[in-house]
Amino acid sequence: MNTQSKQDVSTDRRCGFVALCGKPNVGKSTLFNRLIEHHWSAVTHKAQTTRYNIQGVLTENEAQMIFIDSPGLNESIHRPWNRILNRNAKAAMLGVDLVILIVDSRMWTAADDVALKVIQSGHAPCILVPNKTDLLKEKQSLLTMIDKVRGHGFSAIVPTSARKDKNFDNLKAEIKTSLPQADFIFKGDPQSYRRPKVIAQELIYEQVMRNLHEEIPYTIDVEISTIEIRENRLRVEALLWVLRDNQRPIVIGEQGAKLKTIGTAARKAIEASFGLPTYLQLNVKTQTKQHSSRMLRERAADDLTMLEGQSRVNDNNHR
């Protein structure tokens, strides 16, 4: 338990957890990566690339923002996988200080209503971010949408383009003023607190999504079996777990070509993220019940660690 007293907290400092939420494919992960100024969360053109909650930190002057990238909230809950993703997205909002609802600036949809309803069931203030403004054909459609949703209780509405880095200063300013007065959680360089295993998983999975098609990439699980630094080189060994035996040849490709393509692109992304020469080894295996059970336990432990961190800062902020 954090026993820090209010007297220890600089009254000029603000710190808190910020959940990025919305329906699938509105640019949450692109916005997350831009905000933390690192490529940590997988980004592709395919919906629901993000499957688990990813955490990153940005410290600017007297404000520390702890961002959580969450899976897209899906209005179709009939498929078990969608229910799991929705559960992960809702977990990201537990105990946060601020929620950012990201929508496509070109149109408000019924799926956005579903996401807003989930957010409003909590107690955190919410900033609306109409994203992808670079794709707008006419500004009037955005103004019409803003007028339509203005009465939903948003603390601010900040249109932006995550892909083009538009209006980011205004967005960060709104986020900072929405956070509670509190001392920083992460001291020194916040990036030193990153979880290398999670980042490597995300960057490998990004290439799985980019290079495989149909339903196959959605059923693959990436497990990092080894990640270590030796003699200023990063060594990563990972397993790609497929659902069925007949999917292994598709992932591997003719004479290993597809797996090599995935591995080469993932290695370059990992090198860029960690700033180290990287050796990456990928193997493909078929999932077993034992594997699925173990991976679920590990994901649950990761989520518990994140929730405990959110709980500690909120306990401190509300004293």
Q: Is residue 294 part of a domain?
A: no
Structure letter (DSSP) for residue 255: G
| Same domain membership, residue 150 and residue 19 | yes
- The β-bridge partners of 69 are 20, 54
Tokens at 58, concatenated: 């940005």
Same domain as 206, residue 119: no
Let me know if residue 91 belongs to a domain. Answer: yes
Same domain for 112 and 13? yes
- Number of domains forming the structure of the chain: 2
**What pLDDT, on a 0 to 100 scale, did the predictor assign at position 291?**
58
Supply the range of the domain harboring residue 205: 195-287
Assigned token pair, 48: 């629901």
pLDDT tens-digit map of 79-109:
544 455 555 555 556 678 999 999 999 999 9
Q: How many CB atoms lie within 10 A of CB 251?
A: 19
What parts of the chain have a pLDDT lower than 70?
1-11, 39-53, 72-94, 188-194, 289-319
| Residues 147 and 272 reside in one and the same domain | no
**Residue 292 falls inside a structural domain:** no
Q: How far apart are CA 249 and CA 261, in angstroms?
A: 14
Give yes or no: residues 226 and 90 share one domain.
no
Burial class, 130, CB count within 10 angstroms (exposed 0-12 / middle 13-18 / buried 19+): buried
25 and 50: one domain? yes
Tell me, what's the pLDDT at 228?
93
Do 121 and 62 lie in a common domain? yes
319/310 Cα distance (integer angstroms): 15
Whether residues 142 and 269 fall in one domain? no
Structure tokens at 238: 């990972």
pLDDT at position 52, please? 57
Same domain, 265 and 181: no
The CATH number of the domain holding residue 233 is 3.30.300.20
Residue 234 counted as domain residue: yes
Q: What is the pLDDT of residue 173?
A: 94
Q: Look at residue 154 and tell me if it is in a domain.
A: yes
State the virtual CA torsion across 241, 217, 33, 119 in degrees, nearest 10: -100
Q: Is residue 317 part of a domain?
A: no
What 3-state DSSP class applies to 59? strand
Looking at this protein, which amino acid is placed at residue 181?
Answer: Q
Domain assignment present for 316: no
Considering the domain boundaries, does residue 274 fall inside one?
yes
How long, in residues, is the chain?
A: 319
Same-domain status, 90 and 186? yes
Domain boundary among 190, 214, 239: 190
Pairs from 81-86 (Cβ < 8 Å, separation ≥ 24): 81/218, 85/48, 85/51
* CATH code for the domain of 99: 3.40.50.300
